[in-house]
Protein backbone atom coordinates (compact mmCIF):
# COMPACT_ATOMS: atom_id res chain seq x y z
CA UNK A 1 0.00 0.00 0.00
CA UNK A 2 1.42 3.32 -1.04
CA UNK A 3 -1.18 5.97 -1.77
CA UNK A 4 1.09 8.53 -3.34
CA UNK A 5 2.08 9.23 -6.91
CA UNK A 6 5.48 7.97 -8.00
CA UNK A 7 8.12 10.51 -9.02
CA UNK A 8 7.43 9.56 -12.65
CA UNK A 9 3.71 10.18 -12.24
CA UNK A 10 4.34 13.54 -10.60
CA UNK A 11 6.69 14.46 -13.44
CA UNK A 12 4.04 13.43 -15.97
CA UNK A 13 1.50 15.63 -14.20
CA UNK A 14 3.85 18.61 -14.29
CA UNK A 15 4.65 18.01 -17.94
CA UNK A 16 0.95 17.88 -18.81
CA UNK A 17 0.16 20.97 -16.78
CA UNK A 18 2.79 22.93 -18.68
CA UNK A 19 1.59 21.44 -21.97
CA UNK A 20 -2.01 22.51 -21.41
CA UNK A 21 -1.04 25.95 -20.17
CA UNK A 22 0.35 26.47 -23.68
CA UNK A 23 -2.41 24.68 -25.56
CA UNK A 24 -5.25 26.61 -23.91
CA UNK A 25 -4.97 29.92 -25.76
CA UNK A 26 -7.37 32.74 -24.83
CA UNK A 27 -9.11 32.22 -28.18
CA UNK A 28 -9.69 28.52 -27.51
CA UNK A 29 -10.86 29.29 -24.00
CA UNK A 30 -13.38 31.83 -25.32
CA UNK A 31 -14.67 29.35 -27.89
CA UNK A 32 -15.16 26.66 -25.22
CA UNK A 33 -16.93 29.15 -22.98
CA UNK A 34 -19.25 30.06 -25.86
CA UNK A 35 -19.99 26.37 -26.46
CA UNK A 36 -21.09 25.91 -22.84
CA UNK A 37 -18.11 23.78 -21.95
CA UNK A 38 -19.15 21.15 -24.48
CA UNK A 39 -16.61 21.71 -27.23
CA UNK A 40 -17.17 21.09 -30.94
CA UNK A 41 -15.80 24.35 -32.36
CA UNK A 42 -12.97 24.59 -34.94
CA UNK A 43 -10.26 25.59 -32.43
CA UNK A 44 -11.44 22.87 -30.08
CA UNK A 45 -11.16 20.32 -32.90
CA UNK A 46 -7.67 21.46 -33.83
CA UNK A 47 -6.52 21.25 -30.21
CA UNK A 48 -7.78 17.67 -30.01
CA UNK A 49 -5.83 16.77 -33.16
CA UNK A 50 -2.77 18.38 -31.61
CA UNK A 51 -3.12 16.18 -28.52
CA UNK A 52 -3.43 13.22 -30.87
CA UNK A 53 -0.30 14.17 -32.80
CA UNK A 54 1.57 14.59 -29.52
CA UNK A 55 0.58 11.07 -28.49
CA UNK A 56 -1.41 12.01 -25.41
CA UNK A 57 -4.89 10.67 -26.08
CA UNK A 58 -3.90 7.03 -25.58
CA UNK A 59 -1.09 7.57 -23.11
CA UNK A 60 -2.39 4.79 -20.86
CA UNK A 61 -3.62 2.49 -23.63
CA UNK A 62 -1.68 -0.71 -24.39
CA UNK A 63 0.75 -0.46 -27.28
CA UNK A 64 -1.18 -3.18 -29.09
CA UNK A 65 -4.14 -0.76 -29.25
CA UNK A 66 -1.91 2.00 -30.59
CA UNK A 67 -1.39 3.65 -27.23
CA UNK A 68 1.75 4.61 -25.38
CA UNK A 69 1.60 1.61 -23.06
CA UNK A 70 1.45 3.32 -19.67
CA UNK A 71 -1.27 2.31 -17.19
CA UNK A 72 -4.84 3.52 -16.58
CA UNK A 73 -3.46 5.68 -13.76
CA UNK A 74 -1.35 7.68 -16.21
CA UNK A 75 -4.35 7.83 -18.52
CA UNK A 76 -6.34 9.24 -15.64
CA UNK A 77 -3.66 11.81 -14.83
CA UNK A 78 -3.86 12.95 -18.45
CA UNK A 79 -7.65 13.30 -18.40
CA UNK A 80 -7.55 15.05 -15.04
CA UNK A 81 -5.07 17.62 -16.35
CA UNK A 82 -6.84 18.23 -19.65
CA UNK A 83 -10.12 18.82 -17.81
CA UNK A 84 -8.41 20.89 -15.14
CA UNK A 85 -7.11 23.14 -17.89
CA UNK A 86 -10.74 23.84 -18.83
CA UNK A 87 -10.73 21.90 -22.10
CA UNK A 88 -14.02 20.03 -22.67
CA UNK A 89 -12.39 16.70 -23.37
CA UNK A 90 -14.53 14.18 -25.31
CA UNK A 91 -14.00 11.50 -22.70
CA UNK A 92 -17.03 9.46 -23.78
CA UNK A 93 -15.23 8.76 -27.06
CA UNK A 94 -11.72 8.34 -25.72
CA UNK A 95 -12.18 6.86 -22.24
CA UNK A 96 -15.36 4.93 -22.50
CA UNK A 97 -16.40 3.78 -26.02
CA UNK A 98 -12.87 3.89 -27.49
CA UNK A 99 -11.37 1.21 -25.23
CA UNK A 100 -14.41 -1.04 -25.84
CA UNK A 101 -13.87 -0.69 -29.61
CA UNK A 102 -10.17 -1.42 -29.24
CA UNK A 103 -10.94 -4.52 -27.21
CA UNK A 104 -14.01 -5.90 -28.97
CA UNK A 105 -14.03 -4.29 -32.42
CA UNK A 106 -13.49 -6.27 -35.64
CA UNK A 107 -10.46 -5.79 -37.92
CA UNK A 108 -12.03 -2.89 -39.82
CA UNK A 109 -12.89 -1.02 -36.66
CA UNK A 110 -9.45 -1.57 -35.19
CA UNK A 111 -7.67 -0.61 -38.40
CA UNK A 112 -9.86 2.30 -39.51
CA UNK A 113 -11.61 3.83 -36.53
CA UNK A 114 -9.54 3.24 -33.39
CA UNK A 115 -6.42 4.98 -34.79
CA UNK A 116 -8.57 7.99 -35.69
CA UNK A 117 -9.79 8.20 -32.09
CA UNK A 118 -6.18 8.30 -30.93
CA UNK A 119 -5.44 10.98 -33.54
CA UNK A 120 -8.28 13.14 -32.24
CA UNK A 121 -10.02 12.85 -35.62
CA UNK A 122 -13.07 10.81 -34.70
CA UNK A 123 -15.86 11.52 -32.21
CA UNK A 124 -18.59 9.16 -31.09
CA UNK A 125 -21.95 9.88 -29.46
CA UNK A 126 -23.80 7.36 -27.34
CA UNK A 127 -27.26 6.20 -28.41
CA UNK A 128 -28.88 4.23 -25.60
CA UNK A 129 -31.95 5.99 -24.18
CA UNK A 130 -35.19 6.21 -26.10
CA UNK A 131 -38.47 7.99 -25.44
CA UNK A 132 -39.72 4.78 -23.78
CA UNK A 133 -36.44 3.35 -22.49
CA UNK A 134 -34.38 5.18 -19.88
CA UNK A 135 -33.41 3.47 -16.67
CA UNK A 136 -35.00 0.29 -18.06
CA UNK A 137 -32.63 0.42 -20.99
CA UNK A 138 -33.18 -3.18 -22.07
CA UNK A 139 -36.71 -2.31 -23.23
CA UNK A 140 -35.29 -0.28 -26.12
CA UNK A 141 -37.09 -0.56 -29.51
CA UNK A 142 -34.71 0.86 -32.14
CA UNK A 143 -34.11 -2.08 -34.44
CA UNK A 144 -31.55 -3.49 -36.84
CA UNK A 145 -32.85 -5.98 -39.40
CA UNK A 146 -30.58 -8.08 -41.58
CA UNK A 147 -30.95 -7.54 -45.34
CA UNK A 148 -28.52 -9.63 -47.36
CA UNK A 149 -25.06 -8.79 -46.02
CA UNK A 150 -26.24 -5.47 -44.61
CA UNK A 151 -28.27 -4.29 -41.65
CA UNK A 152 -31.09 -1.75 -41.84
CA UNK A 153 -31.61 0.43 -38.78
CA UNK A 154 -34.75 2.28 -37.72
CA UNK A 155 -35.76 4.10 -34.56
CA UNK A 156 -35.28 7.08 -32.29
CA UNK A 157 -32.88 7.89 -29.46
CA UNK A 158 -33.07 10.53 -26.76
CA UNK A 159 -30.39 12.50 -24.90
CA UNK A 160 -27.81 11.76 -27.59
CA UNK A 161 -25.40 14.34 -26.22
CA UNK A 162 -22.69 15.80 -28.50
CA UNK A 163 -24.27 13.97 -31.47
CA UNK A 164 -24.55 17.21 -33.46
CA UNK A 165 -20.80 17.34 -33.91
CA UNK A 166 -19.87 13.66 -33.65
CA UNK A 167 -18.92 11.36 -36.53
CA UNK A 168 -20.56 8.16 -35.35
CA UNK A 169 -23.21 7.02 -32.91
CA UNK A 170 -22.52 4.02 -30.68
CA UNK A 171 -25.99 2.62 -31.04
CA UNK A 172 -27.83 0.00 -29.01
CA UNK A 173 -30.43 -1.76 -31.15
CA UNK A 174 -32.74 -4.73 -30.92
CA UNK A 175 -31.62 -7.54 -33.22
CA UNK A 176 -33.72 -10.35 -31.73
CA UNK A 177 -37.25 -9.23 -30.87
CA UNK A 178 -38.09 -12.78 -29.76
CA UNK A 179 -35.30 -13.24 -27.20
CA UNK A 180 -36.77 -14.72 -24.01
CA UNK A 181 -34.98 -12.12 -21.91
CA UNK A 182 -35.11 -8.69 -23.46
CA UNK A 183 -31.48 -7.77 -22.73
CA UNK A 184 -30.32 -10.84 -24.67
CA UNK A 185 -31.69 -9.52 -27.95
CA UNK A 186 -29.58 -6.36 -28.11
CA UNK A 187 -26.56 -5.64 -30.32
CA UNK A 188 -24.18 -2.72 -30.71
CA UNK A 189 -23.60 -0.88 -33.97
CA UNK A 190 -21.47 2.05 -35.03
CA UNK A 191 -23.67 4.23 -37.23
CA UNK A 192 -22.20 7.07 -39.32
CA UNK A 193 -23.89 10.36 -38.51
CA UNK A 194 -23.21 11.42 -42.10
CA UNK A 195 -25.79 8.93 -43.41
CA UNK A 196 -28.77 10.67 -45.06
CA UNK A 197 -31.11 8.62 -42.85
CA UNK A 198 -29.54 10.12 -39.71
CA UNK A 199 -30.93 13.32 -38.28
CA UNK A 200 -31.09 15.16 -35.00
CA UNK A 201 -33.04 17.91 -33.29
CA UNK A 202 -31.73 19.89 -30.35
CA UNK A 203 -33.00 19.56 -26.79
CA UNK A 204 -32.12 22.52 -24.57
CA UNK A 205 -31.54 21.89 -20.89
CA UNK A 206 -31.70 23.83 -17.63
CA UNK A 207 -27.94 24.21 -17.57
CA UNK A 208 -27.85 25.73 -21.05
CA UNK A 209 -26.20 22.61 -22.40
CA UNK A 210 -27.60 21.29 -25.65
CA UNK A 211 -28.40 17.63 -26.04
CA UNK A 212 -30.30 15.91 -28.85
CA UNK A 213 -33.05 13.65 -30.02
CA UNK A 214 -31.65 11.54 -32.87
CA UNK A 215 -33.54 9.71 -35.61
CA UNK A 216 -32.53 6.65 -37.60
CA UNK A 217 -34.51 6.25 -40.82
CA UNK A 218 -33.67 3.19 -42.88
CA UNK A 219 -29.94 3.53 -42.32
CA UNK A 220 -28.15 0.77 -44.17
CA UNK A 221 -24.76 -0.35 -42.82
CA UNK A 222 -22.49 -3.28 -43.64
CA UNK A 223 -21.88 -6.07 -41.14
CA UNK A 224 -18.52 -4.41 -40.35
CA UNK A 225 -20.46 -1.90 -38.30
CA UNK A 226 -21.63 -4.52 -35.81
CA UNK A 227 -19.43 -4.43 -32.70
CA UNK A 228 -18.91 -7.62 -30.74
CA UNK A 229 -21.28 -10.58 -31.01
CA UNK A 230 -24.73 -10.47 -32.52
CA UNK A 231 -27.18 -10.22 -29.60
CA UNK A 232 -24.20 -9.82 -27.29
CA UNK A 233 -24.54 -6.06 -26.88
CA UNK A 234 -25.61 -5.97 -23.23
CA UNK A 235 -22.15 -6.96 -21.99
CA UNK A 236 -20.59 -4.15 -24.03
CA UNK A 237 -23.13 -1.66 -22.71
CA UNK A 238 -22.44 -2.52 -19.08
CA UNK A 239 -18.68 -2.52 -19.70
CA UNK A 240 -18.94 0.89 -21.35
CA UNK A 241 -21.12 2.23 -18.54
CA UNK A 242 -18.64 1.08 -15.91
CA UNK A 243 -15.94 3.06 -17.69
CA UNK A 244 -18.27 6.01 -18.23
CA UNK A 245 -19.13 6.10 -14.53
CA UNK A 246 -15.47 6.62 -13.77
CA UNK A 247 -14.96 9.23 -16.47
CA UNK A 248 -17.88 11.26 -15.21
CA UNK A 249 -16.22 11.72 -11.85
CA UNK A 250 -13.20 13.76 -12.69
CA UNK A 251 -11.89 15.80 -9.86
CA UNK A 252 -9.50 17.95 -11.92
CA UNK A 253 -11.89 20.83 -12.65
CA UNK A 254 -13.54 20.84 -9.23
CA UNK A 255 -10.24 20.90 -7.33
CA UNK A 256 -9.24 23.81 -9.52
CA UNK A 257 -12.53 25.62 -8.84
CA UNK A 258 -12.12 24.96 -5.12
CA UNK A 259 -8.64 26.48 -5.14
CA UNK A 260 -9.91 29.52 -7.05
CA UNK A 261 -12.82 30.15 -4.69
CA UNK A 262 -10.57 29.71 -1.65
CA UNK A 263 -8.05 32.17 -3.08
CA UNK A 264 -10.82 34.62 -3.87
CA UNK A 265 -12.14 34.36 -0.30
CA UNK A 266 -8.64 34.98 1.06
CA UNK A 267 -8.01 37.98 -1.15
CA UNK A 268 -11.40 39.65 -0.90
CA UNK A 269 -12.10 42.17 1.86
CA UNK A 270 -15.53 42.63 3.36
CA UNK A 271 -16.80 46.21 3.52
CA UNK A 272 -17.33 45.89 7.26
CA UNK A 273 -13.77 44.68 7.78
CA UNK A 274 -11.95 41.37 7.58
CA UNK A 275 -11.75 39.03 4.63
CA UNK A 276 -14.45 36.73 3.25
CA UNK A 277 -12.30 33.81 4.42
CA UNK A 278 -12.22 35.06 8.00
CA UNK A 279 -15.88 34.20 8.53
CA UNK A 280 -16.27 30.93 10.45
CA UNK A 281 -19.11 29.67 8.25
CA UNK A 282 -17.01 30.23 5.15
CA UNK A 283 -14.19 28.23 6.71
CA UNK A 284 -16.70 25.51 7.57
CA UNK A 285 -17.91 25.33 3.95
CA UNK A 286 -14.37 25.29 2.61
CA UNK A 287 -13.35 22.58 5.07
CA UNK A 288 -16.30 20.40 4.13
CA UNK A 289 -15.72 20.87 0.41
CA UNK A 290 -12.04 20.05 0.84
CA UNK A 291 -12.89 16.77 2.59
CA UNK A 292 -15.53 15.84 -0.01
CA UNK A 293 -13.26 16.53 -2.98
CA UNK A 294 -10.38 14.60 -1.40
CA UNK A 295 -12.55 11.47 -1.42
CA UNK A 296 -13.57 12.06 -5.01
CA UNK A 297 -9.89 12.03 -5.88
CA UNK A 298 -9.13 8.88 -3.92
CA UNK A 299 -12.14 6.99 -5.27
CA UNK A 300 -11.14 7.56 -8.87
CA UNK A 301 -7.46 6.91 -8.22
CA UNK A 302 -8.34 3.64 -6.56
CA UNK A 303 -10.45 2.61 -9.53
CA UNK A 304 -7.74 3.57 -12.00
CA UNK A 305 -5.40 1.42 -9.94
CA UNK A 306 -7.98 -1.38 -9.87
CA UNK A 307 -8.18 -1.24 -13.68
CA UNK A 308 -4.40 -1.47 -13.82
CA UNK A 309 -4.35 -4.67 -11.80
CA UNK A 310 -7.57 -5.97 -13.37
CA UNK A 311 -9.63 -5.79 -10.18
CA UNK A 312 -12.34 -3.22 -10.99
CA UNK A 313 -15.36 -4.09 -8.82
CA UNK A 314 -18.83 -3.31 -10.07
CA UNK A 315 -19.96 -2.04 -6.66
CA UNK A 316 -17.01 0.33 -6.45
CA UNK A 317 -17.64 1.77 -9.92
CA UNK A 318 -21.24 2.44 -8.89
CA UNK A 319 -20.11 3.88 -5.54
CA UNK A 320 -17.82 6.29 -7.38
CA UNK A 321 -20.68 7.39 -9.60
CA UNK A 322 -23.15 7.97 -6.77
CA UNK A 323 -20.65 9.65 -4.49
CA UNK A 324 -19.18 11.85 -7.18
CA UNK A 325 -22.42 12.96 -8.79
CA UNK A 326 -24.08 13.85 -5.51
CA UNK A 327 -20.85 15.34 -4.21
CA UNK A 328 -20.61 17.74 -7.15
CA UNK A 329 -24.05 19.16 -6.33
CA UNK A 330 -23.18 19.53 -2.67
CA UNK A 331 -19.88 21.24 -3.48
CA UNK A 332 -21.32 23.65 -6.04
CA UNK A 333 -23.93 24.62 -3.48
CA UNK A 334 -21.41 25.25 -0.71
CA UNK A 335 -18.93 27.10 -2.92
CA UNK A 336 -21.87 29.12 -4.28
CA UNK A 337 -22.72 30.12 -0.72
CA UNK A 338 -19.16 31.36 -0.26
CA UNK A 339 -19.33 33.67 -3.30
CA UNK A 340 -22.81 34.76 -2.17
CA UNK A 341 -25.24 36.77 -4.27
CA UNK A 342 -22.65 36.91 -7.06
CA UNK A 343 -23.23 33.18 -7.47
CA UNK A 344 -26.49 34.12 -9.20
CA UNK A 345 -24.74 36.21 -11.86
CA UNK A 346 -24.07 34.83 -15.29
CA UNK A 347 -20.45 34.83 -16.36
CA UNK A 348 -19.34 38.32 -17.40
CA UNK A 349 -22.30 40.07 -15.82
CA UNK A 350 -21.90 42.86 -13.24
CA UNK A 351 -18.96 42.82 -10.84
CA UNK A 352 -19.11 39.06 -10.25
CA UNK A 353 -15.84 37.14 -10.31
CA UNK A 354 -15.05 34.55 -12.96
CA UNK A 355 -15.46 31.82 -10.31
CA UNK A 356 -18.91 33.07 -9.40
CA UNK A 357 -20.05 32.96 -13.02
CA UNK A 358 -18.73 29.44 -13.35
CA UNK A 359 -20.59 28.33 -10.23
CA UNK A 360 -23.81 29.93 -11.49
CA UNK A 361 -23.67 27.67 -14.54
CA UNK A 362 -22.26 24.54 -12.91
CA UNK A 363 -24.95 24.56 -10.26
CA UNK A 364 -27.54 24.44 -13.05
CA UNK A 365 -25.85 21.58 -14.89
CA UNK A 366 -24.99 19.36 -11.95
CA UNK A 367 -28.05 17.13 -11.81
CA UNK A 368 -27.27 15.51 -15.17
CA UNK A 369 -24.99 12.82 -13.84
CA UNK A 370 -27.17 11.73 -10.93
CA UNK A 371 -29.47 10.15 -13.53
CA UNK A 372 -27.28 10.09 -16.65
CA UNK A 373 -24.95 7.11 -17.03
CA UNK A 374 -27.44 4.97 -15.05
CA UNK A 375 -29.73 6.47 -12.39
CA UNK A 376 -28.23 6.60 -8.91
CA UNK A 377 -31.09 4.43 -7.62
CA UNK A 378 -29.93 1.66 -9.93
CA UNK A 379 -26.34 2.26 -8.79
CA UNK A 380 -27.39 1.86 -5.17
CA UNK A 381 -29.17 -1.37 -6.10
CA UNK A 382 -25.91 -2.57 -7.63
CA UNK A 383 -23.94 -1.57 -4.54
CA UNK A 384 -26.18 -3.38 -2.06
CA UNK A 385 -26.34 -6.48 -4.27
CA UNK A 386 -22.75 -6.71 -5.54
CA UNK A 387 -21.00 -5.06 -2.61
CA UNK A 388 -23.02 -6.39 0.33
CA UNK A 389 -24.64 -9.51 -1.16
CA UNK A 390 -28.11 -8.30 -0.26
CA UNK A 391 -30.94 -9.93 -2.26
CA UNK A 392 -32.80 -7.63 -4.56
CA UNK A 393 -36.46 -7.47 -5.49
CA UNK A 394 -37.29 -8.90 -8.90
CA UNK A 395 -38.30 -6.38 -11.52
Residue 244 bears catalytic tag: yes
The DSSP call for residue 204 is E
Residue 7 engages other proteins in binding (rule: CB under 8 A): no
Region of 213 please: left (phi>0), alpha (psi -120 to 50) or beta. beta
From 47-55, 152-160, 166-174, 253-261, give the range in contact with other proteins by CB under 8 A: 253-261
**Residue from the set 256, 347, 353, 365 that interacts with other proteins by CB under 8 A:** 256
Task: Report the C-alpha gap between 318 and 379 in whole angstroms.
Answer: 5
According to CB under 8 A, which one of 160, 255, 325, 370 is a site residue for other proteins?
255
N-terminal to C-terminal alpha carbon distance within the chain: 41
Closest distance of CB 339 from other proteins, Å: 15
Residues making up the chain, counted from first to last: 395
> Which residue, 209 or 261, is less far from other proteins as judged by CB?
261
Residues numbered 189 to 228 that lie near other proteins (CB under 8 A) are: none
Per annotation, catalytic residue among 244, 294, 313, 377: 244
Which C-beta is closer to other proteins: that of 26 or that of 280? 280
What single-letter DSSP state applies at residue 394?
Answer: -
- To the nearest whole angstrom, how small is the minimum distance from the Cβ of residue 203 to other proteins? 29
Classify residue 227 by burial, with Cβ atoms within 10 Å: 0-12, 13-18, 19+: buried
CB of 390 to other proteins, least distance (A): 4
**Residue 330 CB partners (closer than 8 Å, separation 6+):** 292
Q: Does 278 bind other proteins (CB under 8 A)?
A: yes
CA distance 99 to 11: 25
For the bound state, the minimum distance from the C-beta of residue 237 to other proteins, rounded and expressed in Å, comes to: 22
Q: How far is the CB of 315 from other proteins (least distance, A)?
A: 7
The nearest distance, CB 261 to other proteins, in angstroms, is 10
Is 341 a binder of other proteins (CB under 8 A)? no
The one among 57, 172, 277, 335 contacting other proteins by CB under 8 A: 277
If one counts every other C-beta atom within 10 angstroms of the C-beta of residue 83, the result is 20
Backbone angles phi, psi at 191, to 5 degrees: -110, 130
Q: Choose one: 96-104, 209-217, 239-247, 383-391; the region binding other proteins (CB under 8 A).
A: 383-391
Query: How far is 158 from 137, CA to CA, in rounded Å?
Result: 12
Q: Which is nearer to other proteins, 118 or 320 (CB)?
A: 320
User: Between 280 and 319, how does the x/- string for binding to other proteins read (CB under 8 A)?
Assistant: x-xxxxxxx-xx-xxx--xx-xx--xx--x-----xx--x
Strand 168-174 and strand 198-204: pairing?
unpaired
Measured from the CB atom, is 183 or 302 closer to other proteins?
302
Cα–Cα distance, 95 to 75 (Å, whole number): 9
Closest CA to 189 of 139, 224, 149: 224
DSSP letter assigned to residue 64: G
Residues within window 317-336 making contact with other proteins, judged by CB under 8 A: 319, 322-323
- Pairwise CA distance, residues 370 & 380, whole Å: 11
Q: Which residues contact 152 (CB under 8 A, 6 or more apart)?
A: 144, 145, 146, 218, 219, 220
Binding site for other proteins (CB under 8 A): 1-6, 9, 73, 255-256, 258-259, 262-263, 265-266, 275, 277-278, 280, 282-288, 290-291, 293-295, 298-299, 301-302, 305-306, 309, 315-316, 319, 322-323, 377, 379-381, 383-385, 387-393
Active site residues: 244
Amino acid sequence: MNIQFTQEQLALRDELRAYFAQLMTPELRAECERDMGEGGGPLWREALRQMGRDGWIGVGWPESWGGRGLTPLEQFIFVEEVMRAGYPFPFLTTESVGPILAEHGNDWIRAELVPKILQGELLIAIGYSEPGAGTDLASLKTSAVRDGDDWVINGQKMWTSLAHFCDYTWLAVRTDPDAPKKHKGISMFLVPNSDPGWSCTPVHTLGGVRTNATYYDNIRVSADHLVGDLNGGWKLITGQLNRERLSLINFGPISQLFNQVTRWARETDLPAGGRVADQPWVQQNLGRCRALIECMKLIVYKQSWAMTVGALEMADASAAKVYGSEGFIEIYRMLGEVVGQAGLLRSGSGQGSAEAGKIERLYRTASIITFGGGANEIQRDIISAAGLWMPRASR
